[in-house]
Amino acid sequence: MKWFLILWAGPIALLGSWYGLSYYDMSFGFFMLTRDAHDLVFQIYGHILGIPPEDLPPLVLRAIIVDSFLVLGIIAFRRRKQILAWWQARRQSSPAVLARDESLSSAP
């Protein structure tokens, strides 16, 4: 599971950091981090996909969000017993639940 998360988060972090640095032209002397490279990459992908380059960033963001929900769903499914045990322990130690239980036991 650890490698699954690393292989999911690694490319997202790399893409996000490249996008942020190249969008604001913080190149640090590397061509791939310049705004010209940023525009060129999106022009090439837009041409390949047949859509305008300015439509690509929202599509990529939407894909990352959907993938993130999918990954979190897989993790939740694999750890459902731990989550259920945590939820039950939390409910039992909650003051509202304890007060409700006491009011039910003291009712005539």
Per-residue pLDDT band at 106 (split at 50, 70, 90): low
Q: What is the pLDDT of residue 91?
A: 79
Averaged over 26-47, what is the pLDDT?
A: 94
Counting residues of the chain whose pLDDT is more than 70, the rounded percentage is: 87
Q: What is the mean pLDDT of the chain?
A: 87
Give how far Cα 43 sits from Cα of 23, 34, 36, 38, 80, Å: 14, 14, 10, 9, 44
Q: Reply yes or no on whether the pLDDT at 37 is more than 90.
A: yes
Averaged over 14-36, what is the pLDDT?
A: 93
∠ CA 65-66-67, rounded to 5°: 90
Per-residue pLDDT band at 59 (split at 50, 70, 90): very high
SS3 category, 51: coil
